[in-house]
Structure 1
């Protein structure tokens, strides 16, 4: 009987040792999987990728490289939700700012400094729109969003946008949703543009198409930009 008692104690100790060994092994595996993602490592990633470590501006999908301005443009939705134009992390035109309206909402920015030089609702006479567009100097960044109806564009106005780089202005029709961004005065300039056509069969809203939206980055040095449509 004494022998059996000793044997039971030995077996119990062996089992405890095995359980302790397995637990220690698993704990070691888990500790090996822990990765310290500290600030120094994040800074190294930002340097390697060529990105600024600051917050992504205008909530675009990818951060702009240093020396670039971020922007995001959204057209209006139906005749109830106004457009929004964000540049370099600042909302320039929106319903919240109470400075958007039917027609074309347009922002003109100094392409070197990033300073907003003008923001206007173009829904008046064609002469007013023509005068405004002709006053835009080469090298300026132009951001445009349509709202409700941009059908008051004459052929001359359409031609001016086409000369800036637009491939959609000449075909823009009643209640089409259109957004456009470009740096003016550059030969073979890249532009950002999207149009959602007013189509009764495919409109998201009754009588109006889905909102159009673009985002991207413009270099602060007069040159090319990174193209991205959303």
Structure 2
């Protein structure tokens, strides 16, 4: 009998301890429920992931006094290009302000404020609007360019020269249906490091008649010029 009593007391104590343990886990002292995900550490990891997102979804965070940007060319003649600057989408299919040819956004190099954006049809359009646009770019202006479908059929030597003066390496050679992305600046010194081109080569094209889309991203200092 004594052994039986002792065993019963031990069972009661064990039950009470187990009840206290689980109550302590799921409820804090104020009576509020504690999330199991939070208890296991998931919530802190999710918060960290959210706070670690970089502007324009870039792979790296930009230092202080630098602007973040990402430029993506169009994919064939189906998916339009996108231009992001300081986490603001300046041009895209969603904003309905893009077109086939050259999509160009002008941004103040000191403040990062959008000045102007426009697209120019380089297949069947007139070259004069592009020439006027390029000639009127103010000093200390960043120039973000994304191709869509065909960026070059209407480009003449004057237009190519004006684009080269903005820091482009490939403006002289970009041709029919090439994928091209570029960030330059008015009166830049030297060539821009932010430029990519993929030539239209039938045997290498990802799409039927077009190369794959290109992306260039990075950080550019305020008052770069």
- For the criterion TM > 0.5, the same-fold answer is yes
Structure 1: 5+ residue stretches without partners: 1-37, 43-52, 224-230
User: TM-score, normalization: structure 1?
Assistant: 0.72
SS at match of 2:218: strand
SS at match of 2:140: coil
Whole-angstrom distance in 2 between the partners of 1:62 and 1:213: 14
Aligned-residue offset at 1:54: 7.1
Deviation at 1:137, TM superposition (A): 1.5
Gapped runs of 5+ residues in structure 2? 1-43
Map of 1:99-110 to 2, 5 A cutoff?
Answer: 99-110=97-108
Question: Does the 8 Å CA contact 1:138/1:186 hold for their aligned counterparts?
Answer: no
Say whether residues 1:115 and 2:113 are aligned partners.
yes
Partner of residue 133, structure 1: 134
Between 82-91 and 120-129, the greater mean CA deviation after superposition: 120-129
Matches within 5 A, 1:183-198: 183-188=185-190, 190-198=192-200
In the TM superposition, residue 190 of structure 1 has moved relative to its aligned partner by: 3.3
User: Which of 66, 89, 98 is the matching residue for 2:64?
Assistant: 66
Aligned match for 2:89, one of 88, 91, 113: 91
**Deviation of 1:189 (Å):** 5.0
Separation in structure 1 between the aligned mates of residue 99 and residue 59 of structure 2, nearest angstrom: 27
Q: Is the 8 A contact 1:74 1:214 kept in 2?
A: yes
| TM-score normalised by the chain length of structure 2 | 0.73
Q: Which residue of 2 aligns with 1:28?
A: none
Corresponding residue number in structure 1 for 2:223: 221
How many positions carry a matched residue from both structures?
Answer: 176
- Does the aligned pair in 2 maintain the 1:183–1:189 contact within 8 Å? no
Equivalent residue number for residue 158 of structure 1: 160
Alignment partners' CA distance in 2, 1:110 and 1:192? 17
Asked if 1 retains the 8 angstrom alpha-carbon contact of 2:140 and 2:223, the reply is no
Deviation at 1:222, TM superposition (A): 2.9
- Partner Cα distance (2:109, 2:210) in 1: 33
Please give the alpha-carbon distance, in whole angstroms, between the structure 2 residues aligned to 1:208 and 1:130: 26
Q: Is the 8 A contact 1:67 1:221 kept in 2?
A: no
Shift of 1:115: 0.5
**Pairwise CA RMSD:** 2.1
Separation of aligned partners in 1, 2:86 and 2:175: 30
Report the Cα distance in structure 2 between the residues aligned to 1:71 and 1:115, rounded to whole angstroms: 13
The residue number in structure 1 matching 2:214 is 212
